[in-house]
Amino acid sequence: MTNNVVLNTDFSDLRLVKRGKVRDIYDLGQHLLLVATDRLSAFDVVLPDGIPSKGDVLTAISAFWFSHVETIVNNHIVATDVDAFPDACQKYREILNKRTMLVKKAGPLAVECIVRGYLSGSAWKEYKRDGTVCAIKLPGGLKESERLPEAIFTPSTKAEKGHDVNISFDEAVSIVGRDVAEKLKGLSLAIYHKAADYALGRGIIIADTKFEFGILNGQLILIDELLTPDSSRFWPLKDYEAGRAQESFDKQIVRDYLLTLDWNMDYPGPGLPAEIIAKTSLRYKEILGILTC
């Protein structure tokens, strides 16, 4: 921890089982401890500089959304208040506070569930080239950032390192089976529509987002993070205009900066100027306030 930015955790008497792009995961026996650090990944590369308060924002906004959609599907949260964590965690409470979730142990599925309501990012690139998004044929003449006739489910494979890969629905079926794939699609679209309707009332467009599911006692539940600036594109409705890229409440500030550099989008990632770090931290805090206050 440097300058109140947590890049890595090292709890010597807790069992670290995974260090992801953003989260450090500890096995506490019955439950897992998910610690959202301030690490930032861009183009699937973890950068050397952290973003102040990022872990706090990711945890708070995930907890909000998990509660908001729990009528659709159960989730993995046990507690977010450090006081409710096991005794073994209390000596680390200063770091764990606000950035940590105690969660149920679920078997994560090897497919990530992406829902796209608008044409942006890799979907826009594929559409320009082929007229499709993840093998789904779309109407001709759509513009960048345009709202799709209906939201689409576009799964991807989950990469431990490097870039996730978009796959077709049939490919998802081959990985998890048709019954599970159909349930994932239905749940993902239902969650997206409920969240998108709520966000629109706050002046925010959810252009696309990514969900992760796991199996617990034979049932699908939501796991990991939910509808955060790391997993979603949030656009201000007041500035929205199809036909161009949109201002975004996420790490787009960092992506835009990195695109000005002579960098091959592979490790090691470049350092970030203080101004870019400060702007990004503010954007994360801003979307949290808009959606949850």
- The pTM of the full predicted model, rounded to 2 decimals, is 0.94
Q: Say which residue the tokens 């142990």 belong to.
A: 105
Lowest mean pLDDT among 34-38, 64-68, 121-125, 223-227: 121-125
**Per-chain mean pLDDT for the chain:** 95
Nearest to 58 by CA among 229, 286, 287: 229
What is the model's pLDDT at position 1?
42
pLDDT band at 162 (very low <50, low <70, confident <90, very high): low
> Which domains, and CATH codes, for the chain?
15-105 (3.30.200.20), 108-249 (3.30.470.20)
What is the model's pLDDT at position 2?
46
DSSP type of residue 259: T
Nearest to 212 by CA among 198, 199, 230: 230
CB neighbours of residue 257 within 10 Å? 18
pLDDT band at 252 (very low <50, low <70, confident <90, very high): confident
What is the model's pLDDT at position 4?
84
Decide: 240 and 205 in contact? Cβ < 8 Å: yes
Handedness of CA 180, 185, 186, 187 (dihedral sign): positive
For 178, phi and psi rounded to 5 degrees? -65, -45
Cα angle value 1/82/219 (rounded, 5°) = 110
What is the model's pLDDT at position 52?
97
**How far are the Cα atoms of 92, 162, 165, 173 from residue 111, in angstroms, in the given order?**
33, 15, 10, 10
- Report the share of the chain in percent with pLDDT over 90: 91
